[in-house]
Amino acid sequence: MLSRLTSFKALPRLGARGFSAAAAAAAAATLPPLPYDVSALEPHISAEIMTIHHTKHHQTYVTNLNASLASIQSAVEAGDSAAIIALSSAIKFNGGGHINHSLFWENLTPPGEYKDPSGDLLAEIDRTFGSFEAMKAEMAAKTVAVQGSGWGWLGWCGSTKSLKIATTPNQDPLHATTGLKPLLGIDVWEHAYYLDYKNVRPDYVKNIWGVVNWGTVACRLAGAKA
Ligand code: MN3
């Protein structure tokens, strides 16, 4: 199962192969398919939201990331430091959007297939938060409180060897901006819930717990510890 998932190590690595034309072409980002039908998460998240969120929002991050990578390649080849710096925020935003959404789709599962966390994941949750319910309460509170657009996260801290809840603004990717390895992300941009929940973000976060794929979280935890 782990091989199918976007494991931490398999996340898109921007420019990891250098900036040669051939490598840039080979590294172009692509929209990953959803691992379930667009209507599979109903009634928690509607097919309309999933369709727009995946084929419009995520696709736009992919398209703009590829354009920014092509531009920065030209800037690197020209030795134009000012242009490289100017492009970096677009790469952070669109690259972060691509990384975050690629993680997010795999964090969800049809409600009929939902299973509570177990094994090592549950043991780590209990050790850090006292209980599964306490972990969800803390993550929900911090995620609902994100100002404007952003993400709530359950991550793995490699230095303290423990789970940690965090939030990131905009499309900031968790690992690149905090060092935490992402296990579970909750998208609280309005595009993720407004059609179903209007302005009531707390109801969206409350209902997303019923479609979290804790198997994916457990696989990512194992990868983060390895
Ligand atoms: Mn989104």
Domains detected in the chain:
2-106 (1.10.287.990), 111-225 (3.55.40.20)
CB-based contacts of 22: which residues, under 8 Å, 6+ apart?
Answer: none
CA of 138 to the centre of ligand 1 (A): 22
Query: What is the per-residue pLDDT across 61-75, written as a single tens digit (0 to 9) for each?
Result: 999 999 999 999 999
Closest CA to 113 of 216, 193, 184, 192: 216
Closest CA to 29 of 10, 8, 14: 14
CA of 193 to the centre of ligand 1 (A): 9
Long-range contacts of 82-87 (CB under 8 A, 24+ apart): none
Residue found under tokens 């998932």: 5
Residue found under tokens 């995520």: 58
Both tokens assigned to 23:
């490598």
Q: Please list the alpha-helical segments (H only) found in the chain.
A: 21-26, 47-52, 59-78, 81-106, 119-129, 132-144, 174-178, 194-197, 201-208, 214-225
CA of 191 to the centre of ligand 1 (A): 6
Structure-model confidence comparison of residues 89 and 15, the more confident one:
89
Structure-model confidence comparison of residues 162 and 4, the more confident one:
162
Is the model's pLDDT at 1 over the cut of 70?
no
